């Protein structure tokens, strides 16, 4: 892998992600083809949050459609988080596998994950009060992480 390292980015490295993700994909009917495994391996090896373009750059022999499709499936399985940044770009990183939200540091780019069942319950209540058929939600909080805040980064 040619991934260039990025300092200071917190990253949850899941052991044998490729194997477990390939099995999960097979349970929903997606065979573990060589290109698909290459995508999983590249994701497993990523040094930090990555863009689709980063991933495509790592996988010159794999078609764009395969990369996009695999990312979408992994998101649906809660194996990959999709984190929109304020500039409109999107980063991905391995997920801990359950629903959660993100604290996004504007300075170092670190994502911190948090889960809050009470907050999720309130979101469902809001949707119900509006007669809205809720199918999912994501929540990102933007600011400075504790390290950057303490270092006085503006
Ligand atoms: Zn996440
Ligand atoms: Zn930070
Ligand atoms: Zn939530």
Domain ranges across the chain:
1-96, 99-154
CA of 106 to the centre of ligand 3 (A): 21
Structure tokens at 86: 């304020």
User: d(Cα 18, Cα 15) in Å, to the nearest integer?
Assistant: 8
pLDDT at 154: 60
pLDDT at 124: 97
Ligand with the closest atom to the CA of 119: 3
The string over 69-92, giving b where at least 16 C-beta atoms fall within 10 Å of a residue's C-beta and e elsewhere, is ebbebbeeeebbbebebeeeeebb
Q: Would 1-96 and 99-154 be classified into the same CATH topology?
A: no
User: d(Cα 86, Cα 126) in Å, to the nearest integer?
Assistant: 24
Answer yes or no: are the C-beta atoms of 49 and 91 closer than 8 Å.
yes
Ligand with the closest atom to the CA of 93: 1
Ligand with the closest atom to the CA of 10: 2
User: d(Cα 69, Cα 73) in Å, to the nearest integer?
Assistant: 6
CA of 49 to the centre of ligand 2 (A): 14
- The one-character DSSP state at 3 is P
User: d(Cα 123, Cα 142) in Å, to the nearest integer?
Assistant: 19
CB atoms within 5 A of ion ligand 1 belong to 81, 113
CA of 19 to the centre of ligand 1 (A): 20
Ligand with the closest atom to the CA of 152: 2
Answer yes or no: are the C-beta atoms of 27 and 71 closer than 8 Å.
no
Residue-level pLDDT, tens digit, the chain, 154 residues: 345 444 434 444 445 889 989 999 999 999 889 999 999 999 999 988 999 999 999 999 999 999 999 999 999 888 999 999 999 999 999 887 788 999 999 998 889 999 999 999 999 999 999 999 999 899 999 999 999 998 886 6
- CATH number assigned to the domain with residue range 1-96, chosen from the 4 options 3.30.1060.10, 3.30.9.10, 1.10.10.10, 3.20.20.100: 1.10.10.10
CA of 55 to the centre of ligand 2 (A): 23
Ligand with the closest atom to the CA of 113: 1
CA of 27 to the centre of ligand 2 (A): 38
pLDDT at 15: 53
- CATH number assigned to the domain with residue range 99-154, chosen from the 4 options 3.40.50.920, 3.30.1490.190, 3.10.20.90, 2.60.120.380: 3.30.1490.190
Contacts of 120 (CB under 8 A, 6+ apart): 99, 137
CA of 113 to the centre of ligand 2 (A): 13
pLDDT at 64: 94
User: d(Cα 48, Cα 137) in Å, to the nearest integer?
Assistant: 23
Question: Measured over all CA atoms, what is the biggest interatomic distance in the chain, rounded to whole angstroms?
Answer: 50
């Amino acid at each position: 892998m040619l991934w260039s390292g990025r300092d200071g980015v917190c990253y949850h490295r899941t052991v044998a992600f490729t194997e477990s993700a390939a099995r999960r994909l097979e349970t929903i009917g997606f065979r573990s083809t060589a290109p698909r495994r290459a995508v999983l391996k590249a994701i497993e090896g990523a040094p930090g949050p990555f863009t689709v373009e980063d991933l495509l750059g790592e996988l010159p022999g794999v078609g764009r459609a395969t990369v996009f499709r695999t990312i979408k499936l992994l998101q649906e399985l809660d194996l990959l988080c999709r984190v929109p940044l304020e500039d409109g770009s999107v980063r991905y990183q391995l997920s801990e596998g359950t629903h959660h939200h993100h604290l996004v540091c504007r300075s170092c780019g670190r994502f911190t994950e948090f889960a809050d069942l009470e907050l999720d319950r309130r979101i469902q209540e809001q949707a119900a009060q509006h007669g809205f058929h809720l199918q999912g939600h994501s929540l990102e909080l933007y600011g400075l992480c504790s390290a950057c805040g303490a270092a006085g980064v503006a």
